Amino acid sequence: MRARSDMRSVDEHRRVVADLITPRPALTVPLADALGLALAADVVAPLSLPGFDNSAMDGYAVLAGDIAAATDSAPVQLPVAEDIPAGRTDIPTLTPGTAHRIMTGAPLPFGADTVVPVESTDAGVHTVTIREAKPVGRHIRRAGEDVTEGTTVLHAGQVVTPAALGLAAALGLSELSVIPRQRVLVVSTGTELVTAGTPLQPGQIYESNGAMLAAAVRDAGGEVVASPMTGDDVEAFTATLRAHAGDADLIVTTGGVSAGAYEVVKDALGPGERVEFVKVAMQPGMPQGAGTWEGGTPIVTLPGNPVSALVSFEVFLRPALRAAMGLTDTQRPRRTAMLTEDLTSPRGKRQFRRGVFDPVTDTVTGYGPPASHHLRWLASANCLLELDEDTAEVAAGSRVQVWDLR
Ligand code: AMP
Ligand code: MG
């Protein structure tokens, strides 16, 4: 697949962006904040689970030998000597020839070797009538049968799921060491932009890239430091970056990188600075930039057209951010599907069209025009159709590559 020789290939720019974004050092966070993050260290069980022998049923702790003859027609009666609800901390000792009423999760009394479920008894409080014999060890959860103290129960690199979090909580842990979220500053540029709530003057539009990319950052697992907007003014743009970049691991800008005048991002970061502005052989999303800002903070400059901005985020930033957070599924799931229509694509550029993938018929239909300002179509698409650099025409019925955004 050959990109136009006067442009940087998509794969090359993806590498450049990925190399810029590096993991933060491991951080110990409260359990709840670890959800969805990769563990930075193995978790070794500080205790066993269960921590003590306990009952798996509501019933009666007894000696199996005392009820060996019990049947429906010839039940055995035992005095109930103790009542052991869950949470009782003084563990009694069972005297042979007696029963202890016991609840699920309550500690098994010393000396007892089986549990009779309440359903096989008359549920007596002072005396219990037992209608069924039980072998030794029945309905007892043994200490350590789930987890033995000292074993590695979660591994570095594993992503914390609700279940993993539950296990850590069961082990008495209140914190986990994780690879922290990337903190991203999203800066929108454009003198034409205003925020919701302000009436529009002719020529003005509501700012949308900031809200959209901030959401995309969070959706990718990242954290948004701030999402300010500035006009096409180098001083104001630079001041905005300085005001917010201190906490950021990455700066993402939109707009101001094309070939026109008033290209504020290019003007502020261009020649002499450590940002390289390039044309990437891709549609949409041709004008791109990447480098570092003051203090070495990585900066990736996306084009301003909303579709270009979001597709660029999908192609370059989402995988790089997820990789830097140690998350395993850095790529959207890829599949092929049968195209329902003829499509054209610019030769020498990789095209990403918005599409609707139908898993039932295994087909994909291009959705909306390829133009990069049609946000409405993007909002209802469920996939990106990827047409490679060598492709100029694709006929209906061909199988094409699809990025599943669902
Ligand atoms: P630019 O890349 O700055 O030339 O912008 C390209 C197009 O995207 C123009 O039509 C801009 O008005 C539009 N645009 C740029 N930034 C934003 C934004 N943050 N929200 C909505 N539209 C934008
Ligand atoms: Mg602009």
What is 251-272 written as a DSSP string?
EEEESS-SSSS--HHHHHHSTT
Contact 369, 332 (CB under 8 A): no
Identify residues whose C-beta is under 5 A from ligand 2, the ion: 190, 255-256, 304
The rounded radius of gyration (Å) of the Cα atoms in the chain is 32
Q: If we measure between CA atoms, which residue out of 124, 150, 126, 142 comes closest to residue 59?
A: 124
**Cα 191 to ligand 2 centre (Å):** 7
Distance from the Cα of residue 127 to its chain's centroid: 55
**Cα 308 to ligand 1 centre (Å):** 10
Q: How many CB atoms lie within 10 A of CB 316?
A: 27
Q: Please list the residues that pair with 189 across neighbouring strands.
A: 230
Q: Please list the residues that pair with 62 across neighbouring strands.
A: 114
Domains and CATH numbers, the chain: 10-24+180-324 (3.40.980.10), 34-45+145-179 (3.90.105.10), 54-141 (2.170.190.11), 334-404 (2.40.340.10)
Q: Rounded CA gap, 128 and 360, in Å?
A: 59
Among 194, 200, 254, 288, which residue has the most ligand 1 atoms within 8 Å of its CB, making it the best to mutate? 254
Q: Rounded CA gap, 281 and 34, in Å?
A: 38
**Model pTM?**
0.92
Q: Considering every ligand atom, which ligand is closest to the CA of 188? A: 1
Contact 80, 98 (CB under 8 A): yes
Helix (H, G, I), strand (E, B) or coil at 182: coil
Encoding tokens for residue 314? 């999908």
What does each of the 406 residues of the chain score in pLDDT, given as a tens digit? 688 999 999 999 999 999 999 999 999 999 999 999 999 999 999 999 999 999 999 999 999 999 999 999 999 999 999 999 999 999 999 999 999 999 999 999 999 999 999 999 999 999 999 999 999 999 999 999 999 999 999 999 999 999 999 999 999 999 999 999 999 999 999 999 999 999 999 999 999 999 999 999 999 999 999 999 999 999 999 999 999 999 899 999 999 999 888 899 999 998 776 999 999 999 999 999 999 999 899 999 999 999 999 999 999 999 999 999 999 899 999 999 999 999 999 999 999 999 999 999 999 998 877 666 777 878 889 999 999 999 999 999 999 999 999 9
Q: Considering every ligand atom, which ligand is closest to the CA of 312? A: 1
Q: Please name the residue whose Cα sits nearest to atom 7 of ligand 1.
A: 305
9 CB-near residues (< 8 Å, 6+ apart): 3, 280, 281, 350, 389
Q: Please name the residue whose Cα sits nearest to atom 3 of ligand 1.
A: 255
Q: Is 16 exposed, middle or buried (0-12, 13-18, 19+ CB in 10 A)?
A: buried
- Contact 209 CB / ligand 1 (< 6 Å): yes
Q: Considering every ligand atom, which ligand is closest to the CA of 289? A: 1
Helix (H, G, I), strand (E, B) or coil at 127: strand
- Contact 289 CB / ligand 1 (< 6 Å): no
**Cα 236 to ligand 2 centre (Å):** 14
